[in-house]
Amino acid sequence: MVHAQFDNTARQALAVKAVDAKIRKDLSWQRIADAAGLSVAFVTAAVLGQHPLPTASAEAVAELLDLDADDTRTLQTIPTRGSIPGGIPTDPTIYRFYEMLQVYGTTLKALVHEQLGDGIISAINFKLDVKKVADPEGGERAVITLDGKYLPTKPF
């Protein structure tokens, strides 16, 4: 049976426990995702409390991280999503995404609506990819791809 949470406290506690195990065992998110058989972005989000994992994936992650049966069950519940508490984020990396949306949010909205019409981009039917590429001017660049299904607004 599918179960949903109404409070994210249990998932937050599990995320702390899972990240501690990840660090203790010196595992990468990619290694955990490989065990789960799903994408690194999805599994990372799931372990951090933003998605439920399918049973086999939850069992594999729990085994890899030495989590118990209750944790395995919790990994499978539909969470109360949202990982950034109210207000402006203070973590520098998360803040930069906030800044990007502050600067480019209206531009993204204008371009999406001009090219696709009135609607939204799904965060449920969604893919995320992060790549490191060489910067021709020296150093490295981050290429982040947000790939969401477009859902048009339907009059009723």
Residues annotated as catalytic (active site), given as ranges: 96, 99, 122
Q: How many other CB atoms are found less than 10 A from the CB of residue 108?
A: 13
Q: Which among 44, 55, 62 has a CA at the least distance from the CA of 3?
A: 55
Q: Which H helix or E strand runs over 126?
A: strand 119-134
Tokens representing residue 10 in the block: 């249990």
User: If DSSP codes are grouped into helix, strand and coil, which group holds residue 5?
Assistant: coil
Q: How many other CB atoms are found less than 10 A from the CB of residue 77?
A: 18
How many Å apart are CA 38 and CA 52, to the nearest integer? 12
Q: Which among 57, 61, 58, 60 has a CA at the least distance from the CA of 73?
A: 58
